[in-house]
């Protein structure tokens, strides 16, 4: 038997760390950092036989965590809590993430296969 765990997924519908870097490096342009709004991680957890809870307020989060920890400790339940957040971009968590990329090698038409 696997031990029960409580997992928390912070869901802001984007790959925020990369989006923040690309908007800073490339004049507020970004590509490939928006994630599918149709994917619900709490529902994926349920499909895998776990308990899944989706919350969007601090009060709901508190209630979900209390229930998840109680289930983990008393009933050996594994729970995934999906916390829906806004899309505000925070500061990067790594200082080196703020350095602009270095050009290592150029690309020319001769490099392309015809």
Q: What are the pLDDT digits (tens) for 2-19?
A: 899 999 988 877 666 666
Tokens (6 digits) for 75: 């009933």
CA distance 61 to 67: 10
Where residue 49 falls (left for φ over 0; alpha for ψ -120 to 50; beta otherwise) is: left
Residue 81 scores a pLDDT above 80: yes
Give SS3 for 18.
helix
Between 88 and 1, the more confident residue is 1
Q: With a threshold of 0.85, does the pTM exceed it? A: no
CA distance 48 to 104: 43
Residue 48 scores a pLDDT above 90: yes
The band of 64, judged by pLDDT with boundaries at 50, 70 and 90, is very high
Query: What are the DSSP E strand ranges found in the chain?
Result: 6-11, 51-55, 79-84
């Amino acid at each position: 038997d696997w031990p029960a765990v409580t997992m928390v997924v912070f869901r802001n519908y984007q790959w925020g760390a990369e989006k923040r870097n690309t908007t800073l490096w490339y004049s507020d342009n970004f590509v490939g950092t928006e994630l599918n709004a149709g994917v619900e991680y709490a529902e994926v957890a349920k499909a895998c036989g776990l308990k899944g809870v989706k919350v969007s307020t601090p009060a709901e989060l508190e209630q979900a965590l209390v229930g998840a920890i109680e289930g983990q400790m008393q009933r050996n339940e594994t729970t995934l809590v999906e916390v829906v957040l806004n899309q505000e971009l925070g500061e990067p968590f790594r200082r080196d993430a703020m350095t602009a990329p270095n050009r290592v090698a150029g690309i020319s038409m001769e490099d392309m296969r015809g």
